């Protein structure tokens, strides 16, 4: 191997190496570590890759712009909507509705961890889909370790479409690929893992495969009603709604089948749970239920109406935009700000309207929004640092040098490593979006170098984020905090690693053997 190629690879990787050391060794907060990676990339770009100060600065500004609009906007809007439902008490009604169907621990872990957890990931992401379902399961009587592990397994696969699809839409923006086509390929890749995850969750909480006895039809309903709608939503709607639509379909189908199952089967004693009853809890009428779900219903409807399925709304709104050339060097392309037909705006409006329906005053909504911005301020800084770092690395040629090394070392076997690279990014940063930003263009350039389908390899990065999300210290810490499990992070990491590494192995096989047929998947 060419020694200069290896040298440039190591130098190009220094911002990532900094992240690994800063987060995993020095235990620095993510926002500090990501801003440090940005500084390393900025200095290297000027003194090793010969970027001018103006080029490096304008590349940074383009990264900041992409971070703020639409990524930070979506993050704030999604978490704000969730916080509104907590503030008004609507989330308690939603929880009661879900837990009213069965006292079978195997069914409850599917309804809460799989279906509702997937919904929360699609709507908010950023740990909400681990914290809330895990705390609900723990409150119902699951052991904290079981609750956390089950939710980590459930949360992995929807990561690529979390927070209204922001990891996928960001990946599409970074790589200049079509978001809808990319989302469709991602759903094909992740489908086998989506199917098997509910089986793992049930065997986990029932302490062995004996828990599958008599429940396989219901688990298949939970799996297929998630997988098939997700594929169709990605194919015909785009990257924003696949997990939301899939989780709603899965929740409805699993809920209905659980009622049917409960009428015909006695719950085995070892799986029966005593569900705590709330004293003086008001009856949940249709009106109460609708109001509780109203922000999420509004988000779903508004995103659906403004999607490509409704061109007479989508097209005019999409034309309200501004394109600006920000980067001042070679290879610059205009960055487009879409002002109205963007998920962040629609989610924020839906959250406000839903909050008003739930009884919030303007002052209440302002307080919740202000608190949400403070709550997510470190995440905002993290996104700014990571996006600026990625833009500098891309424009300077550092991404090209990283890709060239991997291709030289692995050649045609590179697809085996593609999901592992995505998993590493999420493990280090705790964010699927950050992994897409850091390594999306590595996968794209590697695909070009080995003649592979670019959509397939770029999607493989998202596939890997699933396993990385399970292992990420940030995810584990959120679960432990939600279940009041202090000092057990290492135990959780050891146990979830068995699942995560098994998933990575399956992902590597999917990425490698599926690359030959990838061109047939594109619409």
The pLDDT of residue 328 is 92
Q: Which residues pair with 464 in a beta bridge?
A: none
Q: For residue 82, what pLDDT is reported?
A: 82
CA distances from 171 to 19, 39, 437, 487 (A): 20, 22, 6, 35
Predicted pLDDT at 376: 80
| Separation between Cα atoms, residue 517 and residue 10, nearest integer Å | 33
Neighbours of 129 (CB within 10 A): 32
Neighbours of 337 (CB within 10 A): 15
Domain total in the chain:
1
Contact 398, 44 (CB under 8 A): yes
Per DSSP, what are the bridge partners of residue 323? 336
What pLDDT score does 522 carry?
64
**32 class by beta-carbon count within 10 Å (0-12 exposed, 13-18 middle, 19+ buried):** middle
SS3 content of the chain, % helix, strand, coil (to 5): 80, 0, 20
* pLDDT at residue 269, as a whole number: 81
Q: What per-residue confidence (pLDDT) applies to 153?
A: 93
Reduced 3-state DSSP string for 498-513: HHHHHHHHHHHHHHHH
- Kindly report the pTM of this predicted structure: 0.78
Residue 73: CB atoms within 10 A of its CB come to 18
Task: Spell out the residues 6+ positions from residue 204 whose beta carbon is closer than 8 angstroms to its own.
Answer: 109, 146, 149, 150, 153
Q: Which long-range contacts (CB under 8 A, 24 or more apart) does 19-26 make?
A: 19/428, 19/429, 20/428, 23/428, 23/429, 23/473, 24/428, 24/473
Q: Which domain holds residue 149?
A: 3-520
Per-residue pLDDT tens digits of the chain, which is 523 residues long: 577 889 998 999 898 888 778 877 888 887 888 899 999 999 999 999 999 999 999 999 998 998 888 778 877 887 788 889 889 988 888 878 877 777 788 999 999 899 988 988 887 666 677 877 887 788 777 888 999 999 999 988 888 888 788 889 889 988 989 999 999 999 999 999 999 999 999 999 998 888 898 889 999 999 999 999 999 999 998 888 899 999 999 999 998 988 887 777 788 888 887 766 666 777 888 999 999 989 888 888 887 888 777 889 988 998 999 999 999 988 787 888 888 888 788 889 999 999 999 999 999 999 999 998 998 888 788 878 888 888 898 889 887 888 788 888 888 899 998 998 888 778 766 678 878 887 888 899 889 888 888 999 999 999 998 888 888 777 777 788 777 776 677 788 888 889 999 999 999 999 999 877 776 666 5
Alpha helices in 26-112 (DSSP H): 30-47, 53-66, 73-88, 90-99, 105-108
- What is the structure's pLDDT at 407? 84
What gap in Å lies between CA 164 and CA 78, rounded to an integer? 8
Q: How far apart are CA 97 and CA 91, in angstroms?
A: 10
């Amino acid at each position: 191997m060419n020694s200069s190629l290896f040298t440039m690879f190591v130098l190009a990787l220094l911002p990532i190496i900094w992240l690994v050391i800063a987060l995993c060794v020095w235990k620095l907060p993510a926002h500090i570590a990501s801003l440090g990676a940005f500084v390393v990339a900025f200095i290297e770009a000027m003194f090793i890759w010969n970027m001018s100060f103006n080029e490096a600065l304008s590349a940074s500004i383009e990264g900041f712009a992409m971070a703020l609009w639409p990524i930070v906007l979506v993050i704030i809007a999604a978490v704000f909507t969730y916080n509104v439902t907590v503030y008004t008490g609507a989330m308690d009604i939603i929880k009661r509705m879900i837990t009213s169907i069965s006292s079978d621990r195997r069914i409850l872990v599917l309804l809460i961890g799989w279906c509702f957890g997937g919904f929360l990931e699609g709507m908010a992401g950023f740990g909400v889909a681990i914290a809330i379902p895990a705390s609900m399961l723990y409150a119902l009587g699951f052991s904290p370790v079981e609750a956390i592990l089950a939710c980590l397994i459930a949360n992995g696969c929807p990561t690529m479409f979390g927070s209204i699809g922001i990891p996928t839409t960001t990946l599409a923006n970074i790589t200049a690929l079509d978001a809808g086509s990319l989302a469709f390929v991602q759903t094909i890749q992740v489908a086998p893992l989506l199917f098997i995850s509910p089986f793992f969750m049930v065997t986990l909480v029932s302490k062995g495969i004996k828990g599958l006895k008599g429940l396989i039809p219901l688990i298949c309903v939970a799996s297929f009603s998630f997988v098939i709608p997700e594929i169709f939503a990605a194919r015909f709607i785009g990257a924003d709604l696949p997990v939301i639509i899939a989780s709603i379909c899965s929740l409805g189908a699993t809920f209905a089948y659980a009622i049917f199952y409960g009428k015909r089967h006695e719950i085995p004693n070892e799986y029966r749970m005593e569900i705590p009853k709330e004293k003086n809890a008001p009856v949940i009428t249709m009106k109460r239920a609708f109001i509780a779900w109203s922000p999420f219903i509004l988000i779903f409807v508004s995103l659906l109406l403004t999607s490509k399925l409704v061109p007479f709304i989508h097209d005019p709104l999409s034309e309200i935009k501004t394109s600006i050339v920000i980067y001042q060097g070679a290879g610059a392309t205009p960055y487009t700000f879409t002002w109205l037909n963007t998920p962040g705006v629609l989610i924020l409006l839906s959250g406000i309207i839903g909050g008003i329906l739930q009884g919030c005053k303007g002052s209440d909504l302002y307080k919740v929004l202000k608190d949400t911005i403070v709550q997510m301020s470190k995440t905002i800084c993290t996104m700014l640092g990571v996006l600026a770092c990625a833009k500098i690395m891309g424009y300077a040629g550092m991404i090209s040098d990283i890709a060239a090394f991997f291709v030289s070392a692995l050649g045609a076997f590179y697809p085996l490593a593609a999901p592992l690279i995505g998993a590493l990014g999420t493990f280090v940063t705790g964010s699927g979006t950050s992994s897409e930003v850091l390594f999306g263009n590595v996968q794209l350039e590697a695909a070009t170098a080995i003649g592979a389908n670019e959509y397939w390899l770029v999607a493989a990065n998202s596939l890997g984020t699933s396993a990385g999300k399970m292992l990420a210290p940030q995810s584990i810490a959120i679960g432990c905090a939600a279940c009041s499990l202090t000092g057990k992070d290492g135990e959780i990491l050891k146990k979830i690693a068995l699942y995560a590494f098994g998933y990575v192995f399956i992902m590597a096989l999917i990425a490698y053997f599926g690359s030959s047929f990838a061109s047939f998947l594109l619409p």
